[in-house]
């Protein structure tokens, strides 16, 4: 039987997997500091996915722009610190 909530399940599953991976990398970055760049990038991707899920699944439009903007800023900050830091 096919579920009508397939895209909802997929979007939330991706968000959950990114969040769990983020927590694991955050804990590991305590011991290995070079993982902080990956934590920043994963945080940005997680925020962007949260924004997409916000607009697609929950029909909230105000926080979506904030999530996506902060996600892009965090990814740009990680790239800036990688190339120029």
Residue 17 covered by a domain: no
- Does residue 71 carry a pLDDT above 80? yes
Q: Which domain holds residue 60?
A: 52-85
pTM listed for this prediction: 0.84
pLDDT score at 85? 74
Give 2-55 pLDDT, tens digit per residue: 566 565 678 889 999 999 999 999 999 999 988 999 999 999 999 999 999 888
Confidence bin at 58 (pLDDT 50/70/90): confident
The residues, ordered by sequence, that sit 6+ positions from 82 with a Cβ below 8 Å of its Cβ are 37
Q: Structurally, how many domains does the chain consist of?
A: 1
Residue 80 inside a domain? The answer is yes
Query: Strands, DSSP E only, in the chain?
Result: none
Residue 64 lies in a domain: yes
Q: What count of other Cβ atoms lies within 10 Å of the Cβ of residue 51?
A: 21
- Report the alpha-carbon angle 23-25-62, nearest 5: 50
31 falls within a domain: no
In the block, tokens 């760049």 appear at 37
The answer to whether residue 13 sits within a structural domain is: no
The total number of residues written for the chain in this structure: 85
> Is 71 within a domain?
yes
In a domain, 67, yes or no: yes
Quick one: which of 27, 39, 49, 50 has its CA closest to 74?
Answer: 39
Backbone angles phi, psi at 32, to 5 degrees: -125, 105
């Amino acid at each position: 039987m096919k579920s009508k909530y397939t895209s909802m399940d997929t979007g939330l599953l991706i968000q959950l997997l990114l969040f769990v991976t983020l927590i694991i990398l955050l804990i590991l970055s305590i011991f290995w500091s070079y993982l902080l760049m990956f934590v920043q990038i994963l945080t940005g991707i997680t925020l962007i996915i949260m924004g997409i899920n916000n607009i697609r699944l929950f029909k909230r439009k105000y926080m979506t722009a904030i999530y996506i903007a902060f996600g892009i800023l965090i990814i740009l900050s990680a790239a800036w610190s990688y190339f120029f830091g």
